[in-house]
Amino acid sequence: MPSWLEGLDRRARLRAKAGLTRRLRPRSATEDVVDLAGNDYLGLSRHPAVVAAAAEALTGYGLGATGSRLVRGSTDAHHALEDTLADWLGTGRTLVYSSGYLANLGAVRALVRPRSLLVSDAHNHASLIDGCKISGAETRVTPHLDVDAVEAALAGAPGRPAVVVTESVFSVDGDLAPLAELHDVARRYGALLLVDDAHALGVLGPAGAGAVAGAGLAGEPDVVVTATLSKALGGAGGVVAGPTELVRHLVDTGRTFIYDTAPPPAVVAGVLAAAGLARAGDALRAELADRAGTVTRRLGAAGLAVSAPAAGVVSVTAPGPETAVAWAADCRDRGVAVGCFRPPSTPDTRSRLRLTINVGIDRADFDRALDVIVECAP
């Protein structure tokens, strides 16, 4: 075996010893499990109107976009979705990407200027962390949800352009950032606020417009919002929302937009239909909040350490990585799919099961799944 492959094999053995091996597990279209691992919060990925819209676009446009947005990839569906999202989120314009990851990379890079300082929450998603790294700007990581630390970082860099970078609902523990307080601090020091609203879009805020709108910050000129289209909207892709000038800058200069093939028109058309349903989905959001509360009460009463969910993400602490893997496997064997998060996917050293609420699941099946999680607990 060549030496470089021996090196990779040695590192794989070390990961296995630490309980950090990861495996791809294919699922069939007819898999019979209760899915508390995916991010289909409002159950829209299989909604008949969403599927019908995607099927119609698939027939009309074919399988793929066939090119980047600036070549042949922009369709009527892409532009209609961008207009709908801008109106829903209350921003000047939006720009759709093929993934939320690329949207975050592009947004962070676009906001960096010479001498910029990026102030990033310690629990931020990998896409935000990577965006900060590849931007070339100095990055100061602040303790999770610590507004005073953010202010200290900004106060220590007087006169420098700065961007405060945060998620709204954090993807591992499901807690909510103090967006209004962060915005007050950022504005006081002339900084921008970049918020990844991926886990809040469709779930929080007026008409599901997200946590940024819920904090009263929609359309503020010093706030930029990113999100995925793969969670509450049940599809795939990402979006950057902000002032018209920012979107124009991204179209002209954003490498993760210019050089990437556009998301397929069928997916975009499905997301457009899902956005209409989500916007009118107050009853779905009420059911999601009720189920999240049920998870916290039921699992907490069983003696498990459970997070207090702000939206649809619930974190359950596991004793360690190997135990977390075994717990998740036992649940799967009994027909319940749960997320299993271990370092380095967690922002600290804790391993967790992550449960994501899906209101499309029958309530009786949902309640039975909670029983399984408790019964399989280590």
The CATH number assigned to the domain holding 225 equals: 3.40.640.10
Statement to judge: residues 274 and 295 lie in one domain: no
Nearest partner of 227 among 197, 192, 191, 194, judged by Cα: 197
Strands 351-356 and 313-318 turn out to be antiparallel
Q: Give residue for tokens 């998301």.
A: 263
Judge whether 80 lies within some domain.
yes
Please write the tens of the pLDDT for every residue from 13-49: 998 888 778 888 888 888 889 999 999 999 999 999 9
Judge whether 233 lies within some domain.
yes
Q: CA 105, CA 253: separation in Å to the nearest integer? A: 13
16's tokens? 């296995």
241's tokens? 């929302």
Judge whether 265 lies within some domain.
yes
Look at residues 279, 297, 328 and tell me which one is the last residue of a structural domain. 279
Q: Please report, for the domain that includes residue 308, its CATH number.
A: 3.90.1150.10
334's tokens? 């009994």
Judge whether 10 lies within some domain.
no
> Count of domains in the chain?
2
Q: CA 95, CA 133: separation in Å to the nearest integer? A: 22
Q: CA 15, CA 294: separation in Å to the nearest integer? A: 36
With a cut of 50, list the residues of the chain below it in pLDDT: none
Q: Specify whether the CB–CB gap between 219 and 92 falls below 8 A.
A: yes
Q: What is the pLDDT of residue 283?
A: 98
Q: Specify whether the CB–CB gap between 342 and 351 falls below 8 A.
A: yes
Strands 336-341 and 351-356 turn out to be antiparallel
- How many Cα atoms occupy the beta-carbon half-sphere of 275 within 13 Å? 26
Q: Looking at the whole model, is its pTM more than 0.85?
A: yes
Judge whether 12 lies within some domain.
no
Statement to judge: residues 121 and 80 lie in one domain: yes
Query: SS3 of 118, please?
Result: strand
Look at residues 279, 311, 343 and tell me which one is the last residue of a structural domain. 279
Q: Where are the alpha helices (DSSP H) in the chain?
A: 3-17, 48-61, 76-89, 100-111, 126-135, 147-155, 179-188, 211-214, 244-253, 255-258, 265-279, 282-301, 321-333, 363-375
219's tokens? 């359309």
Q: What Rg do the C-alpha atoms of the chain give, in angstroms? A: 21
Statement to judge: residues 257 and 297 lie in one domain: no
Strand order in the sheet with 238-242: 93-97, 238-242, 223-228, 192-196, 162-167, 117-121, 138-142
Please write the tens of the pLDDT for every residue from 337-358: 999 988 877 777 889 999 999 9
Q: What is the pLDDT of residue 81?
A: 98
Range of the domain at 124: 52-279
Count helices and strands (H / E) in the chain: 14, 11
Q: What is the pLDDT of residue 372?
A: 97
